[in-house]
Every structure is written in C-alpha cells, then in structure tokens.
Structure 1
Amino acid sequence: MEEEGETLELYNLQYSDLITLSSSLHHTSDENIEYMETVMSTIMKNLGPSGPGLLAVTGVPNASDLRRTLLPMARKLALLNNDDRKRLLKDHGLGSDVPLKNIDRTVSPFAMQLKYNVNLDVSNFCNENHSETQGFNSDMESACEFKNLGNMFKDLGNCMIDLGLRLARVCDNIIGGHELEQSLLESCSAKGRLIHYHSVLDNLILQASNKTRSKTKKIEGTRGNHSELWQQWHYDYGVFTVLTDPMFMLAPEDNGSSQSCDGKECPSPSGHTYLQILDPNKNRVVTVKVSSGSFIVQVGESGDILSKGKLRATLHSVYRPKSLENLSRETFVVFLQPAWSKILYVYDFAVDSSSSNCEDSRICDEGNQRQKPSSDIGKLIPPLCDRLKNGMTFAEFSRETTKQYYGSSGLQSKR
C-alpha cells in the first residue's frame, strides 16, 4: 500500500453523547431524543455490516494529559537493557507477550491484566499527580522516571474499559438484549498493552548495545529486515478493542551509534494513524485517520459473533513507512473480551450476501464451502469457520485462533 492511498476519517462519537446514551433517557427532551436516535443510527452504521467496524470517541475529560505522559514511556522501556527493564516491569506489575531479548523485534508490548472498576469517575481519574522526573542519564534516574508507570497504566486502562462497557451497553440497547455488556462484565477484567512500534534506528540502538555481534553485521541485518508492516493483518478476537490516538516520535539520526533513549514527539508525517483496514464493502485497503486525542474503538470477532452479525469485526494491520527510518509509533490498547468460559454459538454470516464480499468468508454453515480469498491479504487470515466450532468456549476459540495465525504451521508463523 502506498502512503498516499485512500484514508478513512472515523466518525467522532462525543463522550457526552456516549454518557447520555448509556444512561437513562427517560428525562430527555423530545428534541434531544430525536438527536440521540440519530447518533445511535450513526453508531450502528459505522460498527455494523455496512460500515468499517470502528469509530472514534472524542472529548474524554483529562485523558489527553495522561496519554501524553504514558505513551513516551513505551519507547524508553523498549530500549532499556534487559535487566533494568525486567526489574521495572516486575515492580509495576507488567509483563510482555513477546521475547524482549530479540533485538530484531519490530514491536515491544508491555501488558497488564486490568480489573474492572465499576465505580470509576472518569472526570477525575487522571487528576492525580503523575509528574515524572525528566532526563534519562542513569539507572537511578530511570527508576524515578517510571515511578508512576503502573498507576498511569491502570488509570488510562480503566478509562478505556469504561468507554468499551458503555459502548457495549449502547449497542445492546439498539440490537436488543444484554449479550455484549453482560459477556464483558462476566470476565471482570481486560488486557492492557502499552506498545512501542520500533523505528529502524531503534533496532540499531538495540544491536549496538548487544555485546555478542559485530556492529557492521547488526546494522546490515536490521536494514534488510525492514518490513512494510509493523503489525500483520489480523482480526482481534475479543468484543471491542479500545486504542489511543497514536503518538509518533523521531529519534536523532545517528546511524545507531548512540544508545540514547531520547526521542521527540512529532505529528504524523502522513496525517493519519498508519492503522489500516480492509474496507469490507469495497474490498480495498484504507488508512484510518482520527482527530487528535481521541480513542479508537474497533469490533472484534467475539463482538461479531455475540451480536449475530449486527456488528462487524475489523480486519486490520499497522503500516510501517519505509522512508522514515527514525520514526517510531507509540500507543496504548485495551482488549475487552468475554469470560474464558463464555460459550460461543455459530450462526450463518452469509445471510446478507451484500456484506460478505470481504477477504474472510466469516462463519459458514456446516455444508458450505470456504470462499477463496480474493487477494494476498486473505491468504494470511485463517477463515473463522475453521477456527470456531459451535459450542466452543471463548478460551478454546482464542487458543485455536492463535494456533492458526501463529503456530508452527500457522499462516503467519514465519512473519
């Protein structure tokens, strides 16, 4: 995909409207009810079969300050030496689901299981003092700099959980029943990830600090492995994924000779997020654009299944610009999933043939044959009808999905 390709500017759902819609409308004026009905219709237009499967939430109180403080920590954590990083992650209750000793990795995620706080007051959630010590000159200073990492992680994560739960309630009200919100409440927790998408120069810094290889060999290896994608094409398999508007950082261009973790925040060079989706109706790739400081909410496969196709899961990847070797991308993501014991039931996604022209055939009934993928993207996606069997638990579905994507014989196991 070319960086100059088509972009999709997401629908902005105002946070104040989300609060109203997820609360009682009994005392709302007739004029306001008419407006809210229009908002609900627009939500379903964007999350349903005829839409992209994602939208943005804007105007969340105080969230931008916390985002601005937390996101730069992703790069600094990624470039720390392994021993210091391991100690810091343990101190703050974080871990990672990728091998952080792999110096050729293109992504460094730092994860925590977040417990729901149903009494959260979002208007006050980040008013606490989360100031950090400036500078990154010694191990002692680095410990001070990260002193509020765990608390900030939880605060921003809880805010994003609240957004997802409220949106699930709104979708339930439109669809009928309580399946989406109830499935999330039963799980009682969500996974949060603070993610650093490496620049090429970040990998040079990691290689320069590795004592077991020659510097020349390391530099050549990293430049040769510069992939077009930071993250491969996939569906999330939860109900909703909530993401911050990403932050972009430019590292000093020093050919990897410096091990400094300094980086300067910059606007997106392209004006978009580098998150790209496969437009399900036009069957073509578009890049997502959002307003500054907003949160992106996208539908996962469990949301698709539990809503019986009233919501559409989003096939997506993250594009990596080839021409900007010192550009990194920082974001924070919360994955809202059903309880592991939740039973998932197969239904026929192909009832509405007008919405079935995407790369993945989604669910097919038992006698139906799998559709052939229409491009190389489709060949990377294990069909849902191969991963989900009627009566599976969410735990079984997630294991089978991970296996078929990334297992020893998975479609993306060598990517």
Structure 2
Amino acid sequence: MAEEGETLELYNLHYSDLMALSPSVHQLPTVYENSKYLESVMSTIIKNLGPLGPGLLAITGVPNASDLRRGLLPMARKLALLNNDDRKRVLKDHGLGSDVPLKNTDRTVSPFAMQLKYNLNSDVSNLSNIDHSATEGHSSDVECPCEFKNLGNMFKDLGNCMIDLGLRLARVCDKIIGGHELEQSLLESCSAKGRLIHYHSVLDNLIMQASNKTRSKIKKTERTCSNHSDLWQEWHYDYGVLTVLTDPMFMFSPENNGSSQLCDGKECPSPSGHTYLQIFDPNKNSVVMVKAASGSFIVQVGESGDILSKGKLHATLHSVCRPKSLENLSRETFVVFLQPSWSKTLYLYDFSVESSGSNSENSRIFDEESRCQKPCSDIGKLVPPLCDRLKNGMTFAEFSRETTMQYYGSSGLQSKR
C-alpha cells in the first residue's frame, strides 16, 4: 500500500482518565467532580472502539513505562541477528520461544514469545523502581550474554503493565455496553501471550545470509524477493479480545559493505511520522495509516472482543507495511494478546440496535451474509471470512485453531507468506 495515503491519528486516552474510569473491586466508590468529563471520555472510547470507529485507540501518560520500552525493544533485533545456537540458549534461559522457523534467513519478521501469567497486584506506578540489575537464573551451562541478562524480567514487567491496561479498558467497555463479559472472559483466562517482534530490514537478512554462508560476502543483487514486499506483515484480524502494543521503535543501520558483522542499529524517528501499522476502514472502504503519540500504547479490538460484545466493539483488519525506499530500516515492537480462556464458548449473534430505525447508520444486523463479505478484492483474497472459521458454540480453542489453519496451514490463504 502507498505510504502517502490517508492517516488516522489515534484518540489518546490518558492513563489518569483510564484509572478514574476503572477502579478495582478493592477500591471504594469515588464521586468525581468532573463526572461529566469522564462521561464524555467514555463516549469517545466507544466511538473509537465501536462499529463506526477504527477499532483502536492509544493510551498515553503511562508512568515509567518508557524506560522499559527503551530497554526491551532494541533486544528484538539483537536476538534476531544472533547465530542460531546462541539465540536458542538465550531464549531457553529466559523462558522464551518463537512461533516462526528462526533458521529461515529469508524471514521478514522474528517474534519472541512468552505466556504471561496475570499479576493482578502489580503497580504500574512502581515500574521505575523495579530492580533489573540481578541476573536471572539460567538453565544452560554457558553464561548468557550480559546484554540479555535482564531480558526475561523486562519482558514480564512491561507485559504485566500492558495486561493491566487491557484489563482496565475491558472493564470500562463493560461499563459502557453493560455486563461483565469482556473483563470476566479475560480474568478466567489468567494469562496472555507476549511477543517481542523484530521486523527485518533488507540489511538484516543480508547479515543472516552471510553468517549462514561461512561469512562469505553476498552481493547486493542477491537480495531476495520477499524483502521487496510492500508488507512486513500480511492483512489479518487478531482473534483475541484486545491486543495491546507499544508505539514502535525504528532503527537504522549502516550497510557495512554487506559483511556478516552485526551492525549496531541507531534509534530514529519514523520516516513518515506514522507507525506503519495500517487498517482497513470498512466505513470508507479504504486503507488508513495509523499515527500514534510517541511512547503510547495502542489497543485494538480482536474478533473475540467483537463477538463477546455482540458487535458493540469493532474488530480491526490490519497489516504492517514497510518503507521500500529505506532498506536499512527495521521496526521493533512489543505486543500482548489478551484472550479468553481456551474453554470459553463463542456464540454467533443476530441483533440490531434497539430504538433505531431500519435506515439508521447505527443499525447493524450481524448475519451469515454480512459476515462473509470481503473488504475488497486484493485484501479479501488473503483474509479467510469469519463465517468460515467460527461456528456457533465453538470454544475459543477451536476457533483459534481453525483461524490459524485457514490463515497459515498447508492449504491456508497465507501458507506461503
């Protein structure tokens, strides 16, 4: 997709407003003098996460989170460019894994994942006071490189912070739409998947290829076709309830004459000013680039959130595009996927907004025909329709398995991508 298209600047929900709107069950009810203001904030939240909005927003002003982000995100590239044996040892020492074949030197994305257990007693305001100086317990006989010694702790601490943001936002959404379905479905799960993700530059792949060819030099003409794709990540829906991700970090690295030596990347601002996350806006039938405040956390709705809210929240079809003119630019981010428990039963819904006429833009009927519509020919070819993946009464485990198979299985729409 073109980088010069329409840009969406996300609504910024300030952390202090989120806290005021989502007191925990242990807190005494508080009467706020600015209750009208908070009501307007709630209205804006549902406007952005609902069916007429983009399905995502940004949370700003989270105390002390920027230091963790700054410390953790650069590790994604360093992990991706380690040789296979060293990387395997580091990941094992810190309880991390990956869901892509990391020996593939032509890959465009390197995700490093961990299942995070909820720590409901964590205090986000104390993140800056957490001591990351102590070396974590290692399971291998070879000492872990010192630059990674705090990887696991930082991963968990930033992950717990983002889990707290997602749970609080789910609580606010429940308050707006009624009931406790969203937050309760997440609490029943008690865990979320965290992913530290490195989006490769062309140079990164040259370094990996050179390293795997006994450090022989690789000519520029040998650059693989996959690295000239318009997208770092193909079009898809997240299938959980909410996805929380950091504002991405961009790193630029010198070419260093194509050698296999690992070049230190330098953090740089986004060349275009946006995140390179792009969404498909069904209301406008167009692709929109997403712009987020620096240091913010982006929250987007997944398909389970759409289903559990009976369409009052809107799942976001999205991808990550890449700047083709800047082949030495990489992108780093950290993502937490908040999902229901595997045994959670999902039901199809058929409803319309009460007291709204048949011609009202707020009226929405969710049926098999509308569920099978594809957004546009090019994008739709790579996105399996929800009606083919979700059957009434499926558990979340069954839904996630079917979704993964239809996207990435041997006969999936993105099986070769």
Alignment of 1:349-368 (within 5 A): 364-365=367-368
Match of 2:16 in 1: 16
Measured against aligned partners, the alpha-carbon deviations of 1:194-225 in whole angstroms (never above 9, x if no partner) come to 00000000000001101279644796142564
Q: TM-score, normalised by structure 2?
A: 0.91
Deviation at 1:369, TM superposition (A): 8.6
The within-5 A match list for 1:178-327 is 178-211=180-213, 215-216=217-218, 220-222=222-224, 225-327=227-329
Work out the number of aligned pairs and report it: 404
Judging changes above 3 Å, is the alpha-carbon distance between structure 1 residues 356 and 172 closer, same or farther for their aligned structure 2 residues? Answer: closer
Whole-angstrom distance in 2 between the partners of 1:255 and 1:41: 54
User: Which amino acid in 1 is paired with 2:31?
Assistant: T
Contact 1:53 1:311 in 2 (8 A): yes
Once the two structures are TM-superposed, the CA of residue 374 in structure 1 deviates from its matched residue by: 2.9
Q: Tell me, what secondary structure is at the counterpart of 2:34?
A: helix
SS in 1 for 2:179: coil
- Paired with 1:283 and 1:145, the residues of 2 have a C-alpha distance of 46
Aligned ranges 1:104-143 → 2 under 5 Å = 104-130=106-132, 143=145
- The answer to whether the Cα contact below 8 Å between 1:362 and 1:384 also exists between their aligned partners in 2 is no
Which runs of no fewer than 5 residues in structure 2 stay unpaired? 136-141
Aligned partner letter, 1:7: T
Contact between 2:282 and 2:375, CA under 8 Å: does it hold in 1? no
Partner-residue secondary structure (3-state), 1:169: helix
1:248 is matched by which residue type in structure 2? F
Matched residue of 1:125: which SS? helix
Asked if structure 2 preserves the Cα contact closer than 8 Å seen for 1:55 and 1:298, the reply is yes
Q: What residue ranges of structure 1 are gaps of 5+ in the alignment? A: 134-139
Q: Distance in 2 between matches of 1:317 and 1:334?
A: 16
Root mean square deviation, CA, Å: 2.5
What are the superposed Cα offsets for residues 236-289 of structure 1, whole Å, 9 maximum, x if unpaired?
A: 000000000000000112242142241100000100000000012101001100
User: Relative to 1, partners in 2 of residues 1:142 and 1:369: Cα closer, same or farther, differing over 3 Å?
Assistant: closer
Overall identity of the aligned pairs, in %: 82
Q: C-alpha separation between the residues in 2 aligned to 1:362 and 1:301? A: 16
Report how far residue 306 of structure 1 moved: 0.1
1:161–1:334 Cα contact (<8 Å) kept: yes
Residue pair 2:215, 2:259 contacting (<8 A) in 1 also: no
Q: Does 1:173 align with 2:175?
A: yes
Deviations 1:382-404 (A, max 9, x none): 11011100000000000000111
Q: Deviation at 1:127?
A: 2.0
Match of 2:68 in 1: 66
Q: Partners of 1:8 and 1:369 in 2: how far apart?
A: 25
**Equivalent residue number for residue 47 of structure 1:** 49
**1:274-319 deviation line (CA, Å, top 9, x unaligned):** 0000012101001100111000000000000000000000000000
2: CA distance, partners of 1:213 / 1:317: 34
Alpha-carbon distance between aligned partners in 1 of 2:161 and 2:76, rounded to the nearest angstrom: 19
**Paired AA for residue 199 in structure 2:** Y
Counterpart of 2:4 in structure 1 is 4
Supply the distance in 1 between the matched residues of 2:3 and 2:174 (Cα, whole angstroms): 37
Q: 1:349 to 1:156 in 2, by over 3 A?
A: farther
Identify if the C-alpha distance between structure 1 residues 255 and 106 changes in structure 2 by more than 3 Å, giving closer, same or farther. farther
Relative to 1, partners in 2 of residues 1:209 and 1:368: Cα closer, same or farther, differing over 3 Å?
Answer: closer
> What do the CA deviations read for 1:97-151 (whole angstroms, capped 9, x no partner)?
0000000000000000000001111100242243699xxxxxx997111000000
The SS at the match of 2:77 is helix
Judge conservation of contact 2:215–2:260 (CA < 8 Å) in 1.
no
Q: Is contact 1:373-1:379 (8 Å) kept?
A: no
- The ranges of structure 1 where at least 4 consecutive aligned residues each deviate by more than 6 angstroms after the TM superposition are 349-357
Q: Against the structure 1 CA distance between its residues 112 and 353, is the aligned structure 2 distance closer, same or farther, given a 3 Å change threshold?
A: farther
Which residue matches 2:99? 97
The one-letter code sitting in structure 1 at the alignment partner of 2:44 is T
SS in 2 for 1:371: coil
CA contact (8 A) 1:72 1:330 kept: yes
CA contact (8 A) 1:274 1:288 kept: yes
| TM-score (normalizing by structure 1) | 0.92
